[in-house]
Structure 1
Amino acid sequence: MTSRRLLFALALSGLGTLACDPAAGIADKKPETPTPDTVQPGTGWTLIWQDEFEGPAGTLPAKEKWAPDVGGDGWGNGQYEFNTARAENASLDGEGALAITARRERYGNNDYTSARLNTKGRFQQAYGRFEARIKLPTGRGIWPAFWLLGADIDAKGWPECGEVDIMEHRGQIPSIVTSTLHGPGYSGGQSVGREHAVGGGTLQADFHVYAVEWEPNRLRFILDDTVFFEATPDTLPAGKKWVYDHPFFIILNVAVGGSYVGPPDAKTVFPQTMKVDYVRVYEKATP
Structure 2
Amino acid sequence: MRKVKLLLCFSIISIILFAQTPTNDKNWYLDNSRSDEFDTTTLDSNLWEKKNYSGWGYGNYAVPSNVLLENNCLKLKLEKRGNGLYYTGQIESKNYQYLYGYYEIFCKILEPGNYKNNEPYTAGLIPTFWTAYQVRDPNNSNCIIAHNEIDILEPLATPTYNAHYHKVGIWYWDNFCGGTQTGTYTLSNIPALFLNWHKFAVEFLPNRVTYYFDDSPFYTDYDAPTFPTHGMNVILALAINYLQLDPNTIFPQYQIVDYFRFYNLKMDCGNTAIIENQTQFNTFDYKVKNNITIGTSSSNISISYGDSLTFRMNNSCIIKGNFVVPIGSEFNVIPTPCY
**What's the TM-score once normalised by structure 1's chain length?**
0.71
Residue 170 of structure 1: which of 146, 156, 173 is its match? 156
Residue 108 of structure 2: which of 106, 120, 135 is its match? 135
State the match for 1:205 in structure 2: 195
1:179 is paired with a residue whose SS is: strand
Q: Percent identity?
A: 23
The structure-2 alpha-carbon separation of the partners of 1:141 and 1:66, relative to structure 1 and needing over 3 Å to count, comes to same
CA distance in 2, matches of 1:204, 1:41: 27
1:227 paired with 2:201, answer no
* Structure 1 stretches lacking a partner, 5+ long: 1-38, 235-240
Q: Kindly indicate whether the alpha-carbon contact (under 8 Å) linking 1:140 and 1:263 is maintained by their aligned counterparts in 2.
A: yes
Instruction: Give the superposition deviation at 1:198.
Output: 4.9
Q: Kindly indicate whether the alpha-carbon contact (under 8 Å) linking 1:129 and 1:212 is maintained by their aligned counterparts in 2.
A: yes
Which of the pair has the greater relative contact order for Cα pairs under 8 Å at 6+ separation?
1
1:285 paired with 2:276, answer no
State the match for 1:99 in structure 2: 75
Q: Kindly indicate whether the alpha-carbon contact (under 8 Å) linking 1:132 and 1:276 is maintained by their aligned counterparts in 2.
A: yes
| Alignment map for 1:82-121 (pairs within 5 Å) | 82-86=61-65, 89-93=66-70, 95-106=71-82, 111-121=85-95
Bigger proportion of residues as strand: 2
The structure-2 alpha-carbon separation of the partners of 1:189 and 1:257, relative to structure 1 and needing over 3 Å to count, comes to farther
State the match for 2:6 in structure 1: none
Q: How many aligned residue pairs are there?
A: 226
CA distance in 1, matches of 2:247, 2:219: 34
CA RMSD of aligned residues (A): 2.6
Letter in 1 for 2:173: P
CA distance in 2, matches of 1:189, 1:183: 6
State the match for 2:37 in structure 1: 52
1:195 paired with 2:186, answer yes
CA distance in 2, matches of 1:183, 1:220: 17
CA distance in 2, matches of 1:142, 1:90: 17
1:146 paired with 2:135, answer no
CA distance in 1, matches of 2:163, 2:266: 36
* Structure 2 stretches lacking a partner, 5+ long: 1-21, 113-121, 268-286, 288-339
1:251 paired with 2:251, answer no
Instruction: Give the superposition deviation at 1:50.
Output: 1.2
1:275 is paired with a residue whose SS is: strand
State the match for 1:61 in structure 2: 43
**What's the TM-score once normalised by structure 2's chain length?**
0.61
